[in-house]
Chains A and B, each alone.
Chain A
Amino acid sequence: MDLSYGQEYEDFRNEVRAFLDANWPPKESATDGKSLGDIANEFREKAVDHGYLLRNIPKKYGGCEQSPDSMKAAVITEEFRKVHAPQSFGGIGPMMLVPTLLERGEEWQKEKFVAKSVRGEYQWCQGYSEPGSGSDLASLKTRADLVGDEWVINGQKIWTTTAREADFMFCLCRTEPDAPKHGGISYLLIPMDQPGIEVRPLKQMTGGADFNEVFLTDAKTPKDWIVGKRGEGWLVSRTTLKHERNGIGGAGRNDVMLAGLVSLATNAVRNGKPAIEDAEVRRQLVFIEGYMKSHEYSSFYQLTRDVNGKEPGRLGLMNKIVGTNISHHVARFALDLLGDGGLLDPSADDRSLGRVPGEARQWVTQYMYSLGIAVAGGTANIQRNVVGERGLGLPRDTFANADRSAKQ
Chain B
Amino acid sequence: MNFDLSEEQELLQETVKQLLANELPATHLREIFEGDTGHDPALWKGLVEMGIAGLIVPEEYGGADLELLDLAVCAEALGWGGAPGPFFGHSVACIALELAGSEAQKKSWLPRLATGDAVGTFAFGEAGGLWNPSEWTLVGGDTLTGVKLNVPTASLADLLVVGVAGGGLVLVERSASGISVEDMQGVDRSRRIDSVTFENTPCEAMPGDLAAANRVRDAALILLAADAFAAASKLVDMCVEYAKTREQFGVTIGHFQGLKHQLANMAIDIEPSRALYWYAAHAFDHIPEESERSAALAKSHISDRAMEIGRDSVEAHGGIGFTWECDVQLWFKRAMFDRAFLGTPSLHRDRIAQMSDW
- Using CB atoms and an 8 Å cutoff, list the residues of chain A in contact with chain B: 1-6, 9, 71, 74, 262, 265-266, 276, 279, 282-283, 285-287, 289-291, 293-295, 297-298, 300-301, 303-305, 307-308, 314-315, 318, 321-322, 325, 381, 383-385, 387-389, 391-395, 397-398
Option from B3, B267, B287, B297 in Cβ contact (under 8 Å) with A303: B3
B30 close to chain A: CB less than 8 A: no
Option from A286, A325, A388 in Cβ contact (under 8 Å) with B297: A286
Tell me the complex Cα distance, A3–B2, Å.
6
- Supposing A282-B353, A381-B261, A384-B261 touch, asked if A392 and B3 sit within 8 A by C-beta, the answer is no
Could you pull out 16 A-B pairs where Cβ atoms are within 8 angstroms? A71-B1, A265-B358, A283-B349, A283-B350, A286-B349, A286-B352, A287-B301, A289-B352, A290-B273, A293-B279, A301-B3, A301-B275, A301-B278, A315-B271, A381-B257, A391-B264
Option from A262, A289, A392 in Cβ contact (under 8 Å) with B267: A392
Return the CB mask of B98-129 against A: 1 if under 8 Å, else 0: 00000000000000000000000000000000
Shortest Cβ distance from B243 into A: residue: A394
Q: Which residues of A contact B346 (CB under 8 A)?
A: 283
Option from B2, B243, B352, B353 in Cβ contact (under 8 Å) with A304: B2
Report whether B3 and A304 are in contact in the complex, using a CB–CB cutoff of 8 Å. Answer: yes
Shortest Cβ distance from A71 into B: residue: B1
In chain B between 15 and 42, which residues have their CB closer than 8 angstroms to a CB of chain A? none
- Supposing A297-B279, A388-B264 touch, asked if A315 and B3 sit within 8 A by C-beta, the answer is no
B144 close to chain A: CB less than 8 A: no
The smallest beta-carbon distance between A288 and chain B, in angstroms, is 10
In chain B between 46 and 80, which residues have their CB closer than 8 angstroms to a CB of chain A? 69
Report whether B1 and A304 are in contact in the complex, using a CB–CB cutoff of 8 Å. Answer: yes
- Supposing A384-B261, A388-B264 touch, asked if A298 and B2 sit within 8 A by C-beta, the answer is no
Q: Which residues of A contact B358 (CB under 8 A)?
A: 262, 265-266, 276, 285
Q: Which residues of B contact A394 (CB under 8 A)?
A: 240, 243-244, 254-255, 260, 263
Report whether B349 and A397 are in contact in the complex, using a CB–CB cutoff of 8 Å. Answer: no
Which 4 A-B pairs give the minimum distances between C-beta atoms?
A290-B301, A297-B275, A282-B353, A300-B3
Shortest Cβ distance from B279 into A: residue: A297
Tell me the complex Cα distance, A284–B260, Å.
29
Option from A286, A297, A321 in Cβ contact (under 8 Å) with B276: A297
B300 close to chain A: CB less than 8 A: yes
- Supposing A387-B264, A387-B268, A391-B264 touch, asked if A294 and B273 sit within 8 A by C-beta, the answer is yes
B4 close to chain A: CB less than 8 A: yes
Report whether A290 and B297 are in contact in the complex, using a CB–CB cutoff of 8 Å. Answer: yes
Tell me the complex Cα distance, A383–B260, Å.
11
The smallest beta-carbon distance between B357 and chain A, in angstroms, is 9
Between B4, B244, B276, the greatest number of chain A beta carbons within 10 A of the residue's beta carbon is seen for B4
B251 close to chain A: CB less than 8 A: yes
Q: Which residues of A contact B252 (CB under 8 A)?
A: 395
Tell me the complex Cα distance, A388–B240, Å.
9
Report whether A392 and B264 are in contact in the complex, using a CB–CB cutoff of 8 Å. Answer: yes
Q: Which residues of A contact B178 (CB under 8 A)?
A: none
- Supposing A282-B350, A286-B352, A398-B251 touch, asked if A392 and B240 sit within 8 A by C-beta, the answer is yes
Shortest Cβ distance from A295 into B: residue: B272
Between A285, A318, A395, the greatest number of chain B beta carbons within 10 A of the residue's beta carbon is seen for A395
- Number of A-B contacts defined by CB within 8 Å: 153
Q: Which residues of A contact B282 (CB under 8 A)?
A: 1, 3
The smallest beta-carbon distance between B260 and chain A, in angstroms, is 4
Q: Which residues of A contact B264 (CB under 8 A)?
A: 383-385, 387-388, 391-392
In chain B between 215 and 262, which residues have their CB closer than 8 angstroms to a CB of chain A? 236, 240, 243-244, 251-252, 254-255, 257, 260-261
Shortest Cβ distance from B67 into A: residue: A1
Option from A287, A304, A314 in Cβ contact (under 8 Å) with B349: A287
Report whether A298 and B297 are in contact in the complex, using a CB–CB cutoff of 8 Å. Answer: no
Q: Which residues of B contact A293 (CB under 8 A)?
A: 276, 279, 297, 301
Q: Which residues of A contact B177 (CB under 8 A)?
A: none
B265 close to chain A: CB less than 8 A: yes
Shortest Cβ distance from B255 into A: residue: A395
Between B240, B278, B279, B346, the greatest number of chain A beta carbons within 10 A of the residue's beta carbon is seen for B279
Extra A-B contacts (16), CB below 8 Å, given A1-B69, A308-B4: A2-B1, A9-B1, A265-B358, A276-B358, A279-B350, A287-B301, A293-B297, A300-B275, A301-B3, A301-B275, A301-B278, A385-B261, A387-B264, A388-B261, A395-B244, A395-B251
Q: Which residues of A contact B243 (CB under 8 A)?
A: 394
Report whether A322 and B272 are in contact in the complex, using a CB–CB cutoff of 8 Å. Answer: yes
The smallest beta-carbon distance between B301 and chain A, in angstroms, is 3
In chain B between 306 and 358, which residues have their CB closer than 8 angstroms to a CB of chain A? 346, 349-350, 352-353, 356, 358
Q: Which residues of A contact B304 (CB under 8 A)?
A: 290
Report whether A305 and B263 are in contact in the complex, using a CB–CB cutoff of 8 Å. Answer: no
The smallest beta-carbon distance between A348 and chain B, in angstroms, is 31
Tell me the complex Cα distance, A314–B236, Å.
13
- Supposing A286-B300, A392-B267, A394-B244 touch, asked if A5 and B1 sit within 8 A by C-beta, the answer is yes
Q: Which residues of A contact B254 (CB under 8 A)?
A: 388, 394-395
Q: Which residues of A contact B260 (CB under 8 A)?
A: 384-385, 388-389, 394
Q: Which residues of B contact A2 (CB under 8 A)?
A: 1-2
- Supposing A282-B350, A388-B260 touch, asked if A290 and B4 sit within 8 A by C-beta, the answer is no
Q: Which residues of A contact B287 (CB under 8 A)?
A: 3
Q: Which residues of A contact B279 (CB under 8 A)?
A: 293, 297, 300
Q: Which residues of A contact B257 (CB under 8 A)?
A: 381, 385, 397
Between B5, B260, B274, B282, the greatest number of chain A beta carbons within 10 A of the residue's beta carbon is seen for B260
Report whether A322 and B1 are in contact in the complex, using a CB–CB cutoff of 8 Å. Answer: no
Tell me the complex Cα distance, A321–B272, Å.
11
